[in-house]
Amino acid sequence: MKNLVILGAGTSGTMMANHLSHKLSKDDWKITIVDQYKTHYYQPGFLFLPFDIYKKKDVKKKGEKYLPKGVRYVNQKIDQIFAEENKIKLEHEYLEYDILIIATGTKIAPEEIEGMKDKEWHKSIFDFYTYEGSVALRDKLRNWQGGKLVVHITEMPIKCPVAPLEFAFLADSYFKNKGMRDKVEIEFVTPLDGAFTKPKATAALHYLLEDKHIKEITDFNIERIDNNKKIMYDYSGKEVKFDLLVTVPTNLGDEVIEKSGLGDDMNFVPTHKGTLQTKANKNIFAIGDATNLPASKAGSVAHFEAEILTENILLYINGKELKDEFDGHANCFIETGNGKALLIDFNYTQEPVEGTFPFPGVGPLSLLKESRMNHMGKMAFKWIYWNMLVKGIHIPFVSATMTKKGKKIEA
């Protein structure tokens, strides 16, 4: 009997457990998956929870429900990976493996910035990248009387890089609906040179910021926050004052990666970008937010990776050459408020352009253009996530590698 161990039962780990339990012979392989929590969180929902669009029950489910029978589900913290010995130390036991899949994701590290996780944390300084942060922010917004709202990115890379912008758009709608938009000033502060990270998207979408009266402050590299004065300072001496700060702190890989000597500066696992094999060991693979791939850290990316990683694990077991196929395919809905959304579809080399998706020329979803249909897509994503995506069911008409069909690409 051989052992395949998956570390992390979030989006990627759960998908891999589902894929592999169908493909590996039960007589030859035992699959074990480890996570510190019994709960599986739907992180894209953390964007909607603060605005009372989703309820707690929309974003929290029992992890067990989404894992196939026959897979051993261990709820313990992972302490260290001993890559040379093919062994892992958990809180209460050791596990041995023949193949290891790292899917420990990324999490926020507000302690990286002086004054961020201080006395104003979850009082006037919030994150919405954790369940706790998102709920605390909801409670704050319900009673907030207005003032200056600053939506802020600490440093890149962050998972779901468009989420902070969506937050700013949704905040605009939320305050309009509450009849208090005139009492709120919204500022978007980013270390990048624009709100959108790709040039075509910037050109097509900049009007959104103007229409919604969201002020953009770029090239702001935060050094520290003064909790008494409620001011953020940047390394070059710039200041941003806030009444309510919603920040996305530095995103890092888990400490277990650092402790095991398997990470880069940000504790992300150096991984071969086409095959998803780690650079450190042939029998260790990595997927999703835990990797250092130059792709977006998003559930949709993990979904495309999972299809290719499943094939590669089978090739590896049979001693065959791995497929060097993953192209960085990402597909993201961007909420723009007022019941509309955008859709972008891109990969390592192709930046988002206009067109239709998934059917070239027909749609129904339009790329890089605001529409109600896209918003329905984003809302349907929750259903797709719980019922298809994490279960490893292929989403019809959407391929793992990006298609250029239906896209307006300039030569």
Residues that bind other proteins (CB under 8 A): 112, 155-157, 191-193, 197, 219, 221, 223, 235-236, 250, 252, 264-266, 270, 292, 294
Q: Rule CB under 6 A: say whether 165 interacts with ligand FAD.
A: no
CA–CA–CA angle 116, 107, 102 (5° rounding):
160
Q: Rule CB under 6 A: say whether 101 interacts with ligand FAD.
A: no
Q: Smallest gap, in angstroms, from Cβ of residue 85 to other proteins?
A: 26
Question: What is d(CA 45, CA 20) in angstroms, rounded to the nearest whole number?
Answer: 27
Give me Rg for the CA atoms of the chain. Answer: 21
Q: Rule CB under 6 A: say whether 60 interacts with ligand FAD.
A: no
Q: Tell me the angle at which helices 299-317 and 11-23 cross, rounded to the nearest 10 degrees.
A: 30
Q: Rule CB under 6 A: say whether 355 interacts with ligand FAD.
A: no
C-beta separation of 328 from 51 below 8 A: no
Cis bond before residue 364 (omega within 30° of 0): yes
**Type and span of the H or E element at 89:** strand 87-90
- Of 85 and 193, nearer to other proteins (C-beta) is 193
Instruction: Give the one entry of ligand FAD, other proteins, none that residue 163 binds, where binding means its C-beta sits below a cut-off of 5 to 8 angstroms depending on kind.
Output: ligand FAD
Q: Rule CB under 6 A: say whether 104 interacts with ligand FAD.
A: yes
- Of 112 and 185, nearer to other proteins (C-beta) is 112
- Of 112 and 354, nearer to other proteins (C-beta) is 112
Contact string (CB under 6 A) for ligand FAD, positions 383-402, x = contact:
--------------------
Enter the tokens of residue 30: 């035992």
Enter the tokens of residue 19: 């894929």
Question: What is d(CA 292, CA 271) in angstroms, rounded to the nearest whole number?
Answer: 6
* Residue ranges with strand state E in 242-281: 244-248, 251-253
Q: Rule CB under 6 A: say whether 286 interacts with ligand FAD.
A: no
Q: Smallest gap, in angstroms, from Cβ of residue 406 to other proteins?
A: 26
Q: Smallest gap, in angstroms, from Cβ of residue 239 to other proteins?
A: 16
User: Smallest Cα–Cα separation from 160: which of 98, 110, 105, 113?
Assistant: 105
Question: What is d(CA 169, CA 162) in angstroms, rounded to the nearest whole number?
Answer: 11
Q: Smallest gap, in angstroms, from Cβ of residue 155 to other proteins?
A: 5
Q: Rule CB under 6 A: which of 212-271 touch ligand FAD?
A: 254, 256
- Of 236 and 318, nearer to other proteins (C-beta) is 236
Question: What is d(CA 1, CA 93) in angstroms, rounded to the nearest whole number?
Answer: 19
| One residue of 36, 281, 338, 366 binding ligand FAD per CB under 6 A | 36
- Provide the 3-class DSSP secondary structure of residue 195: coil
Polymer length of the chain: 411
Q: Smallest gap, in angstroms, from Cβ of residue 352 to other proteins?
A: 14
Determine whether 282 is exposed, middle or buried from the number of CB atoms within 10 Å of its CB (0-12, 13-18, 19+). exposed
Q: Smallest gap, in angstroms, from Cβ of residue 107 to other proteins?
A: 14
Instruction: Give the one entry of other proteins, ligand FAD, none that residue 193 binds, where binding means its C-beta sits below a cut-off of 5 to 8 angstroms depending on kind.
Output: other proteins
* Sheet with strand 214-217: strands edge to edge: 125-126, 244-248, 147-153, 184-189, 214-217
**In the complex, which residue's CB is closest to ligand FAD?**
10
Rounded to 5 degrees, what are φ and ψ at 199? -55, -45
| One residue of 4, 11, 33, 131 binding ligand FAD per CB under 6 A | 11
Q: Rule CB under 6 A: say whether 153 interacts with ligand FAD.
A: no
Q: Note the residues at the interface with ligand FAD (CB under 6 A).
A: 8-13, 34-37, 43-44, 46-47, 77-78, 103-105, 128-129, 159-160, 163, 254, 256, 288-290, 297-300, 302, 332-333
